[in-house]
Structure 1
Amino acid sequence: MLYGIAAATTALLLAAVLAALFRVPALRLGLVDRRRQRPLPLSGGVAVVLVTCLVVAAGDWLGAARLDGEVRDLLVAGAAIAVLGLVADVWRLKARFLVVGTAVAAAWVVPYGDLGVPGGMLAAGWVTFVAVAFRSLDHADGLAGTVGVLTAFGVAACAAAEVMDGFAGLLSVLAAALTGFLMHNWPPARVALGGCGSLFAGFLLAVVAVTVRAGHGLGVNLGVLFALTAVAGADVVLVVLSRRLAGRPLPRRAPDHLAHRLRRLGLTGQGAAVLLGMAAFAGVLVAVLVHLRWVGAQALWWVAGVTPVVVLGLMRVSVGPARGRRQVASTHGSSQRARVSQVPKASARVSSQVRPQLRVRNG
């Protein structure tokens, strides 16, 4: 217990300090989010990855929390995925390379002994989907970190219930590191996760969730895993459907994610992050209660039923320029043209003694 408190506190403080310290070097090296109107450094992901790996490795080195083979392999695979995400942040790797790399790492760490080969391959595909979905969640300030913290606590609770202390400790440290990162990422953000941190967080969460649920029924497993990552999955489905229906290529970036559409409805950046965080908390809570058998599996149908309704409802929100602004602009332009046409021609005669600067200013 004391080690867990010390490790979480250390991870939180270190992540907050390193995210701030890495901010200036990231700006100088050009490691910034190119989707923003202002340069937003991607130092948060590097800080989260370093802190999580260092704190967990220090616990094993000091003998306070020994790592078994599964946790060690997962940490190594997660670090490799983080490096791949960092390369994508710097050199703009295509999405297919991220998907293939994440799939290979997931196929290496999924528990084939409990799932079998077909189940293991299916689990690897789901892990890849969740990791990419968490990278997609980094489109708004405070969103990926908030959803990651809530999901990490939920999956850690499931791991603790199965007496998987190594996985529970790993995700507790990850949740603390993400909390420290959120100190600089809450709207308006000063740093962002980037592919490095978001792929790392999503990969760890998905692998631990699959390992914890191994050995349970397939139907209930699908429901629990879906509820744990409902917000991230809904964001990916919303983006894919909207871009397909609009005839836009999937890799082309556009303001059509969950938070973008909520902002179009009038919410602030903080309001969108809080609302989506509450949605993530609701899904995680249902998944944890079902895993602990405190409620029946029928509760999962609420998550499975509400999520498609939300996705279909948000698809009706426009992601283009506001129609009202276009109408106001066109009306304003036409009224100005009308006023100009009504000016008498005699007034257009300006004295030659008036300088051009005064004509522009007073015209």
Structure 2
Amino acid sequence: MFSSLDLDIQPGEGLGIFQLGASLWAVLDLLRTHHHAFPHVAVQYDADAPTTPVLLHIRPHLDLLFSPAQQRLHTIAVRSLRDPNPPLTLTYKSAVLSSSSKPLRRVDVSRAFGPTYPGRHLQYPGVRFLFEDDANGEKGERTQEVARILVTQADGHDGAGIPDALGEPAVCPAMYGDVAEAIVKVHEGVDLRFYAAESPIVVRVRLGLTTAQDLLTDLGPPLRTFYKEDDRMAIHGRTHPDVLPAPSYFYNYFQYGMDFLIADGTHVVTKIVMHSNIPGTALFQRYKRCPWQIEGRPEDDEDDSPPRVRFEDRVETISHFLAPGEAPPSMHFNRTDEEETLTLRSATTRLLGFDGIILEATEGAQVVGVTLV
């Protein structure tokens, strides 16, 4: 026995609990909390693409398409409207459009949404109703059943088109409070620009200066505080075997895709870690994608747009940007060594060390994380 799935269409904004512009991390977390309503979810992506659109296929009715760079919900597709497993009920402005006993036809759409531009399909700002190519039948066009529904942001031109599937959603309320840019300044720290309803909010975190209290004030409480116990990397920097590293702890801001290592004695930030949330890697979905950019030195004092490399660039490009002509030292790292039952295509990564910064990259040259030290 399947429970009914009731979803409200919000043209240009979303469908049911799914809001356009929401992050992949937030939507997958939402699906976990509603696993009884959405028990079957498949994550699909191109494993060979540095930044890939991600498709969440929620059987049997929904496909959620996320943009390749920002991992934002771009398009919601509704299909198999008459599939009874589970039965689907669609509403618009509190009125039932479609259910297992009420098919949605072309004439029903016109009655609910009004007139629109002529064409094979019915298009309105933020929502589109598609029909099968050979669905005219003997009863005529008015009784065609809707085969699929697409919910997107409204097109900026005529208000009825479909935004570029590989583009990024426009800034909307679902993004407010998320990191829009993380500008990395080697040896200094990171400037965080947040989406906001009016002017963007900027928070600056500086190595050796920003305190734990500053983070609590500017970013709010972390989702987890983790006391550092894994000192496997310390052997590479230890000058005497009896010298132990100073105790420290992490503030884990999974919702921003960032970790801050804080010295236990001074309580200042000593390390900043930013995560790219690459599908197929060991840390996928543990952190929201942090849209980091590494800023280089300006050409002169009047240069107000210094060069940058971004998380979607290949590791070779970023390495050349950080140290032209040099081959950085690297080590292999497998995050699944302690997970015997976990098998991943990108389990082993490389750690590439530069002056003040470490890159973690997959065998496919995607940078999964950046650490400022």
Q: Same fold (TM over 0.5)?
A: no
**Quick check: which one's strand share is greater?**
2
TM-score, normalising length: structure 2:
0.21
Q: Report which structure shows greater RCO (CA 8 Å, sep ≥6).
A: 1
TM-score, normalising length: structure 1:
0.21
**Quick check: which one's helix share is greater?**
1
